[in-house]
Amino acid sequence: MRQSPVVPELLDIGWVVAGLVLLYYGAEWLVKGSSELAIRFGISPLVVGLTVVAFGTSAPELVVSVKANLDGSGGMAIGNVVGSNICNIALVLGVGAVIFPLAIQRQVIRREMPVLLVATVVFLLMMRGGVIDRLEAAVLFGGVILYVITSLVEARKEDPNVSEDIDPEVIKAARTAGAGRVFLNIFLIVIGALVLVVGADRMVLGGERIARFYGVPEAIIGLTLFAFGTSLPELATSVVAALRKHGDIIVGNAVGSCIFNLLAVIGLAGLVAPLEGEGLTIIHLAVMLGVTIILMPMMWHRMRLDRWEGVLLVVGYLGFTAWLVIG
């Protein structure tokens, strides 16, 4: 006879609720600090989203994938990245577009999306043998270093192009901020990223325990809950940024996180130990490549993601998740 689940279930539900609260405040602080810092130093919010915010919200993927590979579960490490990239493109961008239609800067079409597509194809080619060795991982990690340096150098040459949707008072305050305000924004970025990591961890912990209690298979937990859980920081940041009408941070965060996942997360995890992609099928890899390719014409069309396109992306993600669960 099964023991009474009242106490553990209440505790697990508490972790889920606590995780949601931490995700909200972490995203709020990360978006606020990064957007003001971008305005203060004349760097476009898009570039900040592609680098600082993307790296901060990709921290859960990094922690989960490196730990999984150290524990001998390379398939979980790679599956986490593949699932997270699908989630970032379909769910994170989709939800953001549903809340607030996203204008797409030409830089995203000219540079970031081609970088993401090339990184995806290179990763898939490396996966042909089912293993990513240390040399291949070093190539990927070298790629992310080159990408960050290039992005920051190019950012200083470009017009910051601050969105007209941002409150003029916020722009004025950011541009006239003293050293104290700058350090406060840096603190908000750091603490916001840390709170996002903790919030995602607590929510995944509670959700995993509840799922295991009700007999959900471990494979399904890994492909859905872990991938979704480590993408919660991106999703929370996207929702908060959409409510604040910081569309560039949403796009930069989602696309930048996908690039970081493939280059930095897989790169670091593979440097720790060769990554074996056991349990990963060609269908999962094809879906990741497919959503990346589909996103490009969506962005190119009228240089924006409209609400109906956001709905299509979200429905597509829900359909993929349902297929995983049912299949």
Residue 85 pLDDT greater than 50, yes or no:
yes
**CA-CA-CA-CA torsion sign (269, 271, 272, 277):** positive
Token pair listed for 40: 């203060």
Asked if residue 255 belongs to a domain, the reply is: yes
Residue 169 pLDDT grade (very low, low, confident, very high; cuts 50, 70, 90): low
Token pair listed for 14: 């508490």
The confidence score (pLDDT) of residue 2 equals 46
Residue 50 pLDDT grade (very low, low, confident, very high; cuts 50, 70, 90): confident
The confidence score (pLDDT) of residue 162 equals 47
Asked if residue 115 belongs to a domain, the reply is: yes
Residue 118: give its domain's CATH number: 1.20.1420.30
- In whole angstroms, give the CA distance from residue 134 to residue 143: 14
Asked if residue 202 belongs to a domain, the reply is: yes
Residue 33 pLDDT greater than 70, yes or no:
yes
The confidence score (pLDDT) of residue 76 equals 75
The confidence score (pLDDT) of residue 94 equals 94
Asked if residue 72 belongs to a domain, the reply is: yes
Asked if residue 1 belongs to a domain, the reply is: no
- In whole angstroms, give the CA distance from residue 92 to residue 305: 12
Asked if residue 207 belongs to a domain, the reply is: yes
Q: Which domain holds residue 74?
A: 6-326
Asked if residue 261 belongs to a domain, the reply is: yes
Tens of pLDDT, residues 262-274:
999 999 999 999 9
Residue 5 pLDDT greater than 60, yes or no:
no
Q: Bigger pLDDT: 52 or 250?
A: 250
The structural domain count of the chain equals 1
Q: Give the Å distances, CA to CA, from 54 to 48, 234, 256.
A: 8, 8, 5
Residue 12 pLDDT greater than 90, yes or no:
no
Q: How many CA atoms lie within 13 A of 56 on its CB side?
A: 33
- In whole angstroms, give the CA distance from residue 183 to residue 185: 5
Residue 154 pLDDT greater than 70, yes or no:
yes
Burial of 242: CB neighbours in 10 Å, binned 0-12, 13-18, 19+: buried
Residue 261 pLDDT greater than 60, yes or no:
yes
Residue 100 pLDDT grade (very low, low, confident, very high; cuts 50, 70, 90): confident
Q: Bigger pLDDT: 57 or 94?
A: 94
How large is the average pLDDT for residues 220-227? 66
- In whole angstroms, give the CA distance from residue 287 to residue 324: 12
Asked if residue 267 belongs to a domain, the reply is: yes
Q: Bigger pLDDT: 5 or 186?
A: 186
Average pLDDT of the chain, as a whole number: 80
The DSSP result for 88-138, as a single string, is IIIIIHHHHHHHSPEE--HHIIIIIHHHHHHHHHHHHHHGGGSEE-HHHHH
- In whole angstroms, give the CA distance from residue 174 to residue 254: 24
Residue 83 pLDDT greater than 80, yes or no:
yes
The confidence score (pLDDT) of residue 264 equals 93
How large is the average pLDDT for residues 50-77? 76
